[in-house]
Amino acid sequence: MKNHTAILLAALVVLTVFAAGTASATDTASSNNSTYNVVYADYKCESWSDEQYPVIDLFGDKYVPLFNDSENIRDLHVNKLARLVLDSNETYTFKNNEKLNLGNGYALEAKKIDIDNETVWLEFTKDGKFVASQNISVNTGENNKTWNVTLDNVEGENNIVVMKVYVNQLFAGVENNIVRIDGVWLIDYANARTLNIGDKLGDFTLKEITSGVDKSNLRGLVFKNDMNNSSVTCNIVGTNYKCSSWSNEQYPLIRLFEENYVPLFANNSSIWQSNIDKLAKLVLDSNETYTLEPKENLDLGHGYALEAKKIDIVNETVLLELTRNGQHVAEKNISISSEDNKTWNIALDNVQGENDTVVMKVHVKQLFVGTEKSIVWIDGIWLIDYANARTLNIGDKLEGFTLEKIIGGVDEADPGSLTFESVPASNCSAPSDSEKVSAKFTNKSMESSILWCKEFWGYISMKSKQTFC
């Protein structure tokens, strides 16, 4: 009996070692492969809440597989991709013959706003050239308020959805009529790309295009990557505000692992004098148009909100209040009588131990007397998540990287940088859900923490060939 037991134990040990070796070989063989699956995404515009679109997250960027206006979403063209330009539920307002810049050369123009017939004629252009136009009615039912733009011959495919626009309302202003748009969805169809097996994206090679089975298992792309070891240096850069009224100003920006951060800086300080080791995530840098009625809140994200407490048309002033999680932060009565007074710079003390730190900028363009209510027109907002700012120290770890150097700014040509060194894959721990979101790296095929770190490093190593993040 003892002999049988010894033999069984020996056999078990051999099987265990063999299984471990097999598992290790399998992990090693598959560790260079990353699978990116198509998923359903809800449109941000509430009026399209019963609709979804396909999206695939590739190396930190969102792409939309081309899809037909009438076909099943699982029959989409996963290897024919266009970058997602906009998926917005923000409010845009513009006047007759005014253009809304959508980014990447795309624009939307209100050719004619007809208040009497409650219609607006919109035109869609790319690089100034006509693409499509439509006369949209706002009084013939909710379904008619959405303009679905479909085009033919996009990477050889026809009837492809490239843009959606939702028209909420028309306003008769004192001088001009304006149209209010509450939803825009747009893909960069003009630069769409067809991927084939063997195509390279940076250090990654497309190995396989998987087939969709059903709604819960859509198609996907499998990439193979080569991993290299190097340090990553992320530099501060002087960045122009998007609001044209601040075109002569800049703010410091550093891009860390596909996220934009702002080193804390004081009012009237130079970019190179910012605190490079004290960072807050950039929430907004927008030149979009926002309209608010009295007592209306504008959700800025991350718990921040802006409220128009009072609009005084006679004195041409508006009382604005900034809140976070419903709590008062700051307020100011802003006059639009001169350009110098139209910008509200919000500076706070004791942000990671720093005082007079600029956390938000707001530009008020104009006040309108609407048919029923007065509205304030804001055309510039810049905001950092100061409440969640962080101070970095040598040795801190971010996304599998260790902070190695903090290089302070010297002058405008050298405003400072951070240098990170990779952590060996065997020392990586599984990231939290929030870290996965921050990294913008999705790989549903990987289970182990080591594999996640290896794949993420493969992605970063591609980026680190440049001297900035």
Query: Alpha-carbon distance 179 to 83, whole Å?
Result: 27
Q: What integer pLDDT is reported at residue 427 of this predicted model?
A: 33
For residue 165, the cross-strand partners are 147, 184
Query: Alpha-carbon distance 434 to 398, whole Å?
Result: 12
3-state class (DSSP) for residue 44: coil
Per-block mean pLDDT, blocks of 10 residues, the chain (469 long): 42 36 34 72 91 84 85 71 92 88 91 91 94 92 90 94 94 82 95 87 74 58 60 83 90 86 90 88 92 91 93 90 94 89 94 95 88 86 95 83 84 80 42 29 31 35 35
* pTM, to two decimals: 0.49
Tell me the pairing of strands 39-42 and 52-58. antiparallel
Would 37-193 and 227-469 be classified into the same CATH topology? yes
Tell me the pairing of strands 250-256 and 237-240. antiparallel
Structure tokens given for 230 = 């190097």
The length of the chain is 469
Domain range 227-469, CATH architecture: Sandwich (2.60)
Residues 6+ apart with CB under 8 A from 379: 243, 245, 287, 288, 289, 290, 363, 365
Q: What integer pLDDT is reported at residue 376 of this predicted model?
A: 92
CATH for 37-193 is 2.60.98.40
Sequence spans of domains, the chain: 37-193, 227-469
